[in-house]
Amino acid sequence: MTKLKTNIPWLEELLPEGILVPSSTLISGPGGTGKPLVEFAFVDAWLKAGGSLIGLPLQYPSGELVRVAMLKLYGTDLNNYKGKIAFIQFDPFTKDCVKINEDTIKANVVIPEIWDKAIEMAEYMVEKTELGTMVFGSALNLLLFSKTYGEAILDKLKNALQNTKSRTYAFAVSTTALADKIRILEDVADNLMFTRMEKPMKLFLKIERMKDVEFSKEEKEVPISAELLKEINEIAESTRKTRIPEIMKI
């Protein structure tokens, strides 16, 4: 086991030792409180430390919007990390995984066996590195709306957070709906963090629990502009309105 330093000043104040590798991190909070933007701080640190990434950004219709956000937030151009990052693009209208280009898979990850297949396929698409692979996912609570697979995919998310021997995980989930199910995930994650938003568009982060590293429990404002927070929230809200009715039919 090793420790990953973030080298991001505002986050280093809360996590002077970084995070344990491998481990699982859950960022939880009400909808529209900037959780993916905090998650992207760990994504940025992971890439810059030489690790590979698998992304499941459910609040974005494509990986391209992750690229835009990373460039605006941290000045990181994901095009400079070819071979180090693969995206799994959620497609509720298929029952399999399909590779659509060199770094993207389309998959119906609400189906538990497809979740596994997609991650395994994506892992073959990225370089094997000394640091290993981080799987990051946001708005994963949307999967729990499935009438057929909701309970099974909850178990899949729970197992991912509990069993971190081969990969590191960073998940972001909303507590606005299905809070009792989200609490199950909060209970098993190695590292637990909460976000909240204050008017006018101020994002705050508080760390509740970390595995085997020192951390500050002080709540801290995250220095992200109101314009970017608003832009990301509008995308997330649009995706929620589309995705929830689709997933409820699965």
**135-191 pLDDT, tens digit each:** 999 999 999 999 999 999 999 999 999 987 889 999 999 999 899 999 999 999 999
3-state secondary structure of 16: coil
CB-based contacts of 225, cutoff 8 Å, min separation 6: none
Q: Quick check: 42 pLDDT over 70?
A: yes
Residue 1's pLDDT is 64
Residue 188's pLDDT is 97
* DSSP letter, residue 7: -
Instruction: Tell me the chain's radius of gyration from C-alpha atoms.
Output: 17
Longest CA pairwise span in the chain (Å): 45
**Has domain 2-248 been given CATH number 3.40.50.300?**
yes
Domain residue limits, the chain: 2-248
Residue corresponding to tokens 């973030």:
6
Residue corresponding to tokens 């994901």:
78
Cα dihedral value 131, 64, 57, 248, nearest 10:
-150
| pLDDT tens, position by position, 188-227 | 999 999 999 998 889 999 999 999 999 999 999 999 888 8
The pTM of this model reads: 0.94
| pLDDT tens, position by position, 102-141 | 999 999 999 999 999 999 999 999 999 999 999 999 999 9
